[in-house]
Amino acid sequence: MFKITKETPPYFPKKAKTMPFWESFFEENLKDLFKNQPILDSIYLHKEAFEVIKNHIGFGNDTEDNQVEQGGLLFGEVIEYESEQVNKEKPKLIGIVNHAIAAKTAEGSMRHLHFNHSTWHSLLEEQEKIDDKESKKQLIGWYHTHPKHLQVYFSHIDKENHLTFFEKDWHFGLVLNPQREEIKCFLGNEFEEVWCIVE
């Protein structure tokens, strides 16, 4: 028998009507992108997070390891932007990724990626090491590759995985082709393609 001593409340995206929060996230060069208004339904990758992804998948190279699908998790926070111009029935979301963890023990093939029990265990252990002051621990999505000649899109299996593990309408899924240096991002359970901006 066991007793729960600490219960984590459910996560909800932050709501913002103005853009001051943006100042703390990006360097000067990216601030020009939202000078007049934010780019809504988008995901922004901090340099450090993208470096983890690039190093893991050999982005821009053709290596022995990246011949099969690889992947990992994305951590950060989600902003729900509110304004009179935004459709209230469908919130506009901005995902901010400031940490990524590579799933180095995931089982990959040319067209398949499987996070086994051991993989999830190691990912959760790595998540515990994230410094709350430097990076939010909130899981907001995942990334995986479509290597070599494969197109960058959400396949039927990708959609099943996304709905199983990342079912919230604010979860993001990033797909990359390391050899062709292509990136696309999809949002929510309707898999809407959204902007992906790298710092």
Q: Which of 84, 96, 94 is nearest to 17 (CA)?
A: 84
Any domain includes 193: yes
CA 80 vs. chain centroid, Å, equals 16
What is the pLDDT, as a whole number, of residue 1? Answer: 47
Only one residue has tokens 């703390």, namely: 24
Q: The CATH number of the domain where 76 resides is what? A: 3.40.140.10
Alpha-carbon distance 115 to 144, whole Å? 11
Region 143-167 average pLDDT: 93
Query: Which range, of 60-64, 68-72, 113-117, 145-149, averages the lowest pLDDT?
Result: 113-117
Domain that holds residue 177: 41-198
Region 7-30 average pLDDT: 66
What is the pLDDT, as a whole number, of residue 38? Answer: 60
Alpha-carbon distance 196 to 95, whole Å? 9
Q: How confident is the model at residue 10 (pLDDT cuts 50, 70, 90)?
A: confident
Alpha-carbon distance 82 to 114, whole Å? 37
Any domain includes 34: no
Query: Which range, of 5-9, 63-67, 164-168, 187-191, averages the lowest pLDDT?
Result: 5-9
Indicate the Cα dihedral angle 151, 157, 159, 164, nearest 10°.
Answer: -150
Any domain includes 107: yes
Region 148-152 average pLDDT: 93
Any domain includes 189: yes
Beta carbons within 10 angstroms of residue 53's beta carbon: 25
For residue 33, give the DSSP letter: G
Q: How confident is the model at residue 51 (pLDDT cuts 50, 70, 90)?
A: very high
What is the pLDDT, as a whole number, of residue 80? Answer: 87
Alpha-carbon distance 64 to 179, whole Å? 12
Query: Which range, of 14-28, 74-88, 101-115, averages the lowest pLDDT?
Result: 14-28
Any domain includes 91: yes
What is the pLDDT, as a whole number, of residue 154? Answer: 94
Any domain includes 3: no
Q: Which residues of 34-52 are buried (b: 16+ CB within 10 A; e: fewer)?
A: beeebebbbbbbbeebbeb
- Pairwise pLDDT comparison (23 vs 65), residue with the higher score: 65
What is the pLDDT, as a whole number, of residue 193? Answer: 93
Any domain includes 12: no
What is the pLDDT, as a whole number, of residue 178? Answer: 97
Q: Which of 97, 93, 98 is nearest to 39 (CA)?
A: 93
- Pairwise pLDDT comparison (2 vs 113), residue with the higher score: 113
Name the domain count of the chain. Answer: 1
Any domain includes 29: no
Alpha-carbon distance 53 to 196, whole Å? 14
- The answer, yes or no, to whether residue 35 has pLDDT greater than 70, is no
For residue 116, give the DSSP letter: -
